[in-house]
Chains A and B, each alone.
Chain A
Amino acid sequence: MTMPMLICYAAVGLLLELSSFAQAPAPAKPAAAGRSRTLNTTFPQQTRKLASPDVLARGKGLYSVNCSACHGSDLRGGDQGGPNLLRSLTALSDQHGELISPIIHGARQDKGMPAFHLSDADSTAVAEYIHSVLALVGPQARPPGKTGITDKDILIGNVSAGQNYFQTNCASCHSVTGDLKDVAARYKDPRALQNAWVAGGTVMGRGNAPAVAGRGKPSTVTVTFTNGEKLEGTLIRKDDFIVTLLLADGDRRSVSLESSDPPKVEIHDPLDAHCQLARNLSNDDMHNVTAYLAAIQ
């Protein structure tokens, strides 16, 4: 379940928080098991006090010998069919082995889980190790560990087909020797590059216009009054009742649209061209252009 984000204009760079994945499910440090004031990450598994490093090291060793063949070295299930322990309701509910140890000792043999003759201290150490890995699970059950996805998996497009598409659809506004000269260097991550070019990203100004740091270019607006007078500027906001704009000289003007004879308001969104293009953009064309832009040196 995700909540709505009322994104209005180009939103780039929402992604890639995943690139900081921990390497492997090494035990989390006891004192810093994701402790955070961020409400969204504070489930018990992320805030609980972990066992001592000695216990976790022993648990990890025991797990790897006894458990990993079935449950996987990353706890997400293994070749021999053991279930994913990272989403196991039993593992999540366990505190210090009181639920996990009986299963290790044979309580679920009828369901195919063999009995392991570990001492209570050892089965508890295994449980504590499992908790230390569960502590690394991110928000909305993001699993720890590497995804194995590399840049090559994103850059699957055909460079020359991308170049052709670019020449046909993009070159009237953009140039790979002009505003996009070092675009591949600016967006080292190919997903960020793709998001940016599709959505008219933050540093891609149109023509000679400077890019506005941290956001897309604002819309401009022309307000034409019935007597022929015009106001032109950068759009601050518009609703059914008022349009507010910033004039070239820095003056801020708000104009009522509620009179019996309201002015005409024309908004020019610099992303209109991108919106038009994206309506019919195929995934293949998108990947091709991304591959082309990524190849620009």
Chain B
Amino acid sequence: MTFTKLTSMTRLLCLVTTPALVVGQIGLEPTDILKPLAEQWTTYNGDYSARRYSSLKQINQSNVRNLSLAWVTRFTAGTGPTGNIPAPTGRGAPAPYPVVVGGLGTGEFNNGGSPRLGGGILMVNGVLYMSAPDNAWAIDARDGTILWQYYWKTRGGTHTGNRGMGMWHDNLYLEVHDDYLICLDARTGREKWKKEISSFEQQYFSSFSPLVIGNHLLVGTGNDMDSPGFLQSFDPETGNRQWITYTVPMNAGDKGVETWASLDAARHGGAQAWLPGAYDPETHLYVFGTGNPTPAYTTGRGDGDNLFTCSLVAVNVDTGKMAWYYQTSPHDTHDWDSTEAPVFVDAPFGGRMRKLVLTAQRNGYFFVLDRITGEHLVTGKMGLVNNWALGLDDQGRPRRNPAKDATIAGSIVNADITNFPAPAFSPDTGLFYAPENNTLHITYLMDPDPRGSMGLGGVSGGGALSYGSYIDAIDYKTGKIVWRHEISGTTGLLATAGNLLFSGDGQNLVAYEPATGKPLWHSRIGTAGNAPETYLLDGRQYILATGGDQLFAFVLNQ
């Protein structure tokens, strides 16, 4: 593997001479991540369960009406050779902060301006760590002061949203779209090391939120160029690779190769792992979702299931060895990744406590499995116009309706019903909460080449009609939707022990009653990038949410 010469030395551009010192302890012990979600927010999903259920209850149904703004901070993405980040201005403006410049590009591809804030935001020892494509920040969680900004001059790559950072002791880990994993010093934002994690030449692009599990750093990547998907584990200290697990068969005789037209088709079959999964410390199983098969929509993959695309996959975190898989969209023809969060819940099922994994996938189906064995337990259906499938097969998997596949003359079918914005589960209500989007559109086969198409270029949607967006509350025991609340735009969700459910409705940050979906409080902060978060600092509970290019923190002012 060769890549562009590493000429561009990382350099520190200090706008001020004072270093960004933070009072007190910095580092995050890996064992801290084992704690249930409460004071801190230590991973993309808050903790390993991905429930996004916080045990904090200072803010609760009786006082949520008093929730008010603690601080708001606006962020600017870097552009050009030095970042061109404007210093804070105006009366009472905070002090300028250091900008650390890295990257192998020139800065000409960095757009600057408003960053896309849509990842998980860490809160560790009073400091928030937030990322956007090619940018990262440390922020004082008490008052929103920016402590440092890291700016990466990109060489390009498909710039999806950046999903957030991982943390191990004083190290932060950021992926960038031209395929480096960067280890930053959490105290200063300076690079400790960086490592190429996938081939930019082969058109991988990396936006995953790295996940620390003990002495493993799990790293995913993405690709739309018919390249194989994989998950890797690195040593968090050195960046040396510990293992790599491909999500498609790579060799003759590999499990699943018979579900492809050929080994060559399998090796170009996609199944990218681009969102973090969940982890069970007792069994050491890490469960994650895989993306769509390539070429998407169309010819060239054979008629089989195309393993292990659009699947939940469980691997042993120490070895990367697959323990089980469950395919949620066999032989996907709609470009519906199954990368939505797998949510770990220990709850009664069939008369006994079971270790479950719950997930609502982009194909509009909700699944409950045994997370130790992968045994299928429940499939539920979401959506008002979910018409792509013909019921379920004997394993509870949706049976695709071939008549809804993209055709040259066009096929009218539902669009994806949920997507990356994070779901939540409340053990208090026993309900799983997920965003639901309802759209019919027309898909066209644009590349009927009998040799097989490529990538996603084979189709283009049009003629879209919206049937509204909702928050769904789903009973995990039955898969039935208990309530559905209409909103004008979906985002991720947060449930708390204060008997509250927080989400964005397209315009507002809203606190809902988890049992009913009734709005209890709101603030018009703009369109949220992903799920709200919460943390406890100095005895005060904060609710954190992005609105556009701003980060808002709310507290009880009594």
Contacts and interface: CB of A to CB of B under 8 A. Distances in A.
Given A6-B490, A281-B412, A37 B109 contact: yes
Given A239-B507, A241-B522, A191 B199 contact: no
Q: Most A CB atoms within 10 A — which of B272, B292, B444, B487? A: B444
Interface string A191-224: 1101110111000000000000000000000000
Given A1-B274, A14-B462, A240-B505, 8 more contacts: A10-B466, A18-B457, A83-B264, A84-B454, A141-B456, A142-B456, A194-B442, A290-B410
A218 to B, nearest CB: 14
A194 B226 CA distance: 30
A154 B465 contact: no
Contacts of A148: 448
Interface stretch (A25-33, A61-69, A272-280): A272-280
Interface string B400-416: 00010001111110011
Given A39-B109, A156-B409, A239 B447 contact: no
Contacts of B444: 15, 191
Given A37-B109, A147-B446, A141 B454 contact: yes
A199 B291 CA distance: 29
Interface of A: 1-4, 6-18, 37, 39-45, 47, 72, 76-77, 83-84, 86-87, 89, 92-93, 95, 98, 137-143, 147-149, 153-157, 191-192, 194-196, 198-200, 237-241, 271, 274-275, 278-279, 281, 283, 286-287, 290
A237 B462 contact: no
Interface string B255-271: 00000000010001010
A237 B507 contact: yes
Contacts of A237: 488, 507
A1 B225 contact: no
A93 B224 contact: no
Given A43-B203, A93-B199, A278-B412, A3 B462 contact: no
Interface in B1-19: 1-2, 4
B162 interface: no
A15 B461 contact: yes
Contacts of B1: 93
Contact of A142 (B111, B455, B469): B455
20 contacts: A1-B337, A7-B415, A7-B441, A8-B466, A8-B489, A10-B466, A18-B457, A37-B108, A42-B157, A45-B201, A93-B1, A141-B203, A141-B226, A141-B454, A142-B455, A147-B446, A154-B410, A199-B464, A240-B510, A274-B465
A3 B161 contact: yes
Interface of B: 1-2, 4, 108-109, 111, 154-161, 177, 199-203, 222, 224-227, 264, 268, 270, 272, 274, 291-292, 294-295, 335, 337, 385, 403, 407-412, 415-416, 419-420, 437, 439-442, 444, 446-449, 451-457, 460-467, 469, 487-490, 505-508, 510, 519, 522
A139 to B, nearest CB: 7
A154 B455 CA distance: 22
Contact of A18 (B159, B403, B460, B464): B460
A47 B420 CA distance: 30
B460 A199 contact: no
